[in-house]
Structure 1
Amino acid sequence: MPADSDPPTLFTHFSTQAFARERQLLAWRDRVGHVVDVLPAKDQIERGFSGSIDLHAAGGLVFTEARTEALVLERSIARVSTDTRRDFAFHVYAEGETGNVSGLNVKRSARGSVRGIAAFDLNQRFRIERPACRVLTMFLPRALVAAHVDDCDALHGRVVPDDAPLARFLFQHFDATARGLPALEHPDAIDALDAGARLLLAAFADKPHALHDSRAALQTAVKEQVKRYVDTHLHEADLTPMKIVEALALKRATIYRWFEQEGGLAAYIRHRRLREAADDIARFPNLQIADIAFGLGFKSASDFTRAFRRAFDVSPLEMRLRALELLRATHDDPVMRSRAAHSRGARESG
């Protein structure tokens, strides 16, 4: 989906806590006013308003994570006719519910507030009375939505409930995306947002090729889910492909096939353990190499050493000696020392 010449990753953070209580809701209205109007009540202004929003943009896609108290949002006919927003906003309610939606141009059977994923066409009017929530929103260009959804105008106001097909993976993927985006490199950020866009379009699409799109999106989302599980449980000695499949309730044959490019899921686990071991060997010179190996699930020091040499073409001890030499060189060189300090500061702030 992204173009070849993508703009750099953009990140902004906004919180109403930086404002005086009587200015908080009005500040929120100013922050989101380029997309939607906030209708403040007098008593709501007086008691203050808690809201924060993180915005990420990469590869032509925009993703936000917002936490707010209850509020009323509206895009009126007058607003639609005067601004230029024509994209779609997909709201994934990670916490809380959709609220009561009214003012839709299309006819929909009335339904109460539910936990799910709501689609809004910014070229049409709507009004949302929304309870306190944590909502993850992805903005998709109109042309992209129209290419995947028949009669995309009718998409406005549709809600995919949290028990619908693909919904579980959508919630997991978007939640993981929100937590992981701040630390991702530009290409990885694009991949995460692109996978989210594909999952959304597959969940809402009605076209025949939607099945193919959903499979590709689902594969991306599930593989990321498996990789997150591996990273979380990397230090457990009993971490095996079968344990992962059972813990995540996935189909074994499918997952094994999807990890064929990595040499199989077992090979992927071993590779991640070796990478983690290499990092620990370089970063913690006082730790015994055998302790690092056993802590990462290797059954013997000799097995670890053979696997390490195959992966990096050096022994664990040789890598440690190289790391120590680099550390001494960095300490002796003021320019290198300054760069190392800057690098540590960037990692800690990230």
Structure 2
Amino acid sequence: MPADTDPPALSTRFSTQAFARERQLLAWRDRVGHVVDVLPDKEQIARGFAGSIDLHAAGGLVFTEARTEALVLERSIARVSTDTRRDFAFHVYAEGETGTVSGLRAKRSSPGSMRGIVAFDLNQRFRIERPACRVLTMFVPRAIVASQIGDCDALHGRVVPEDAPLARFLFEHFDATARELPALERPDAIDLLDAGAQLLLAAFADKPHALHDSRAALQSAVKAQVKRYVETHLHEADLTPMKIVDALGLKRATIYRWFEPEGGLGAYIRHRRLREAADELARFPNLQIADIAFGLGFKSASDFTRAFRREFDASPLETRLRALELLRAMNDDPVMRTRAAHSRGARESG
């Protein structure tokens, strides 16, 4: 399959519900044991443990979404000295708090349990007494962190509170990442993860060094937020640039400037509607072209046809006929039919 249609390189799902109650916490310890040790007690083992984790990896970055009951995690000096994990783990607490973090280097103390984002250097020891939470974690290679932050060792144990600059966009971006990543093809997954990593490093970097990087990361995250809003509301007739700006609480001039490479936000909306229309013409051959046009916010069939022809150099009817011819050719060709079935199966399994 071509690289641009590959799913994320790795996608796994794990839940302790598949195990007997007395095995649940031990199963969780086995699942995360390649990174951190879980310190259970007999009472905790006996009552069972609810935990789930979805993992996605692409482009050298790893993202996980975990939901767990309260637990104690530790990465000891002995562990650090015996394994090879040297990347950074950024914990974004979407629900719940950071818990009590200890075992860090001298002169560095945790500000106490709070809702925020914590950075851990897996080349250093730490211990977390964590309450029940939903935590989104990004694992970033050490080389990437070091390229953006001069003294990356000092990053270990630092906390960015939820009210800090960029934090709101980090929470929104990572929450959207958890929702959207499972369905994305490989290039889009890499872009989404890379934007998250850039935003994280900008939030943790010291000023004024991070000013340029933070602006770039913020622009990337906000544009992604706007694009997600467009996709969600694409079929609404009143979807306009002004409605998006107002709904997301953004500055109109800034957003309009950031979408200038796409011809402006209005042009971007129209482009996405036309691409969706082209897809629906092929997927729904019995649906009237006018119904597709009105369903995507066009005020008349003639306006839709003119815009469609400018975009694709073909009319909607011509595009539908070509799609139907291609579909018939695929159905008549066993090799093409097998390839199409394999492609659909690969996408669905991803």
TM-score between both structures, scaled by the size of structure 2: 0.92
Q: 1:26 to 1:293 in 2, by over 3 A?
A: same
The match for 1:288 is 288
The match for 1:275 is 275
Q: 1:265 to 1:114 in 2, by over 3 A?
A: same
Question: Which range moves more in the overlay, 326-335 or 61-70?
Answer: 326-335
- In structure 1, C-alpha distance between the alignment counterparts of 2:76 and 2:346, rounded to whole Å: 44
The match for 2:95 is 95
Instruction: Report SS of the residue matched to 1:163.
Output: coil
Instruction: Report SS of the residue matched to 2:137.
Output: strand
**Superimposed CA distance per residue, residues 130-150 of structure 1 (whole angstroms, 9 cap, x where no aligned partner):** 111111111122233233224
- In structure 2, C-alpha distance between the alignment counterparts of 1:109 and 1:128, rounded to whole Å: 12
The match for 1:80 is 80
**Superimposed CA distance per residue, residues 293-331 of structure 1 (whole angstroms, 9 cap, x where no aligned partner):** 001100011000000111111111111222222233333
Instruction: Report SS of the residue matched to 1:172.
Output: helix
Kept in 2: contact 1:150–1:206 (CA 8 A): no
Kept in 2: contact 1:230–1:269 (CA 8 A): yes
Q: Equivalent residues in 2 for 1:309-328 (5 A)?
A: 309-328=309-328
Kept in 1: contact 2:102–2:109 (CA 8 A): no
- In structure 2, C-alpha distance between the alignment counterparts of 1:144 and 1:344, rounded to whole Å: 35
The match for 1:143 is 143
The match for 1:5 is none
Instruction: Report SS of the residue matched to 2:119.
Output: strand
- Higher relative contact order, structure no. (Cα contacts within 8 Å, ≥ 6 residues apart): 2
The match for 2:179 is 179
The match for 2:216 is 216
The alpha carbon displacement at 1:110 in A equals: 4.7
Amino acid at match of 2:304: F
- In structure 1, C-alpha distance between the alignment counterparts of 2:25 and 2:171, rounded to whole Å: 28
**Superimposed CA distance per residue, residues 39-65 of structure 1 (whole angstroms, 9 cap, x where no aligned partner):** 011122112212122222222222211
- In structure 1, C-alpha distance between the alignment counterparts of 2:329 and 2:148, rounded to whole Å: 56
- In structure 2, C-alpha distance between the alignment counterparts of 1:153 and 1:244, rounded to whole Å: 40
- In structure 1, C-alpha distance between the alignment counterparts of 2:77 and 2:139, rounded to whole Å: 20
The match for 1:104 is 104
Instruction: Report SS of the residue matched to 1:89.
Output: strand
Question: Which range moves more in the overlay, 156-165 or 109-118?
Answer: 109-118
Instruction: Report SS of the residue matched to 2:239.
Output: coil
- In structure 2, C-alpha distance between the alignment counterparts of 1:139 and 1:243, rounded to whole Å: 36
The match for 2:4 is none
The alpha carbon displacement at 1:116 in A equals: 0.7
Q: Equivalent residues in 2 for 1:1-350 (5 A)?
A: 9-349=9-349
Question: Which range moves more in the overlay, 154-163 or 105-114?
Answer: 105-114
Kept in 2: contact 1:95–1:134 (CA 8 A): yes
The alpha carbon displacement at 1:221 in A equals: 0.6
- In structure 2, C-alpha distance between the alignment counterparts of 1:136 and 1:250, rounded to whole Å: 25
- In structure 2, C-alpha distance between the alignment counterparts of 1:155 and 1:306, rounded to whole Å: 55
Amino acid at match of 1:141: P
- In structure 2, C-alpha distance between the alignment counterparts of 1:61 and 1:109, rounded to whole Å: 28
- In structure 2, C-alpha distance between the alignment counterparts of 1:92 and 1:28, rounded to whole Å: 20
- In structure 2, C-alpha distance between the alignment counterparts of 1:153 and 1:347, rounded to whole Å: 40
Structure 1 regions of 5+ residues with no counterpart?
A: 1-7
Question: Which range moves more in the overlay, 256-265 or 99-108?
Answer: 99-108
Amino acid at match of 1:25: L
The alpha carbon displacement at 1:109 in A equals: 4.8
Kept in 1: contact 2:282–2:324 (CA 8 A): yes
Instruction: Report SS of the residue matched to 1:123.
Output: coil
**Superimposed CA distance per residue, residues 178-204 of structure 1 (whole angstroms, 9 cap, x where no aligned partner):** 222222222222221111111111101
Kept in 1: contact 2:236–2:296 (CA 8 A): yes
Question: Which range moves more in the overlay, 102-111 or 283-292?
Answer: 102-111
Structure 2 regions of 5+ residues with no counterpart?
A: 1-7
Kept in 1: contact 2:219–2:258 (CA 8 A): yes
Amino acid at match of 2:48: G
The match for 2:5 is none
Amino acid at match of 2:314: V
Question: Which range moves more in the overlay, 86-95 or 53-62?
Answer: 53-62
- In structure 2, C-alpha distance between the alignment counterparts of 1:141 and 1:271, rounded to whole Å: 36
Amino acid at match of 1:61: L
Instruction: Report SS of the residue matched to 2:67.
Output: strand
The match for 1:4 is none
The alpha carbon displacement at 1:346 in A equals: 4.3
Q: 1:21 to 1:320 in 2, by over 3 A?
A: same
The alpha carbon displacement at 1:259 in A equals: 0.9
- In structure 1, C-alpha distance between the alignment counterparts of 2:335 and 2:123, rounded to whole Å: 54
The alpha carbon displacement at 1:207 in A equals: 4.8
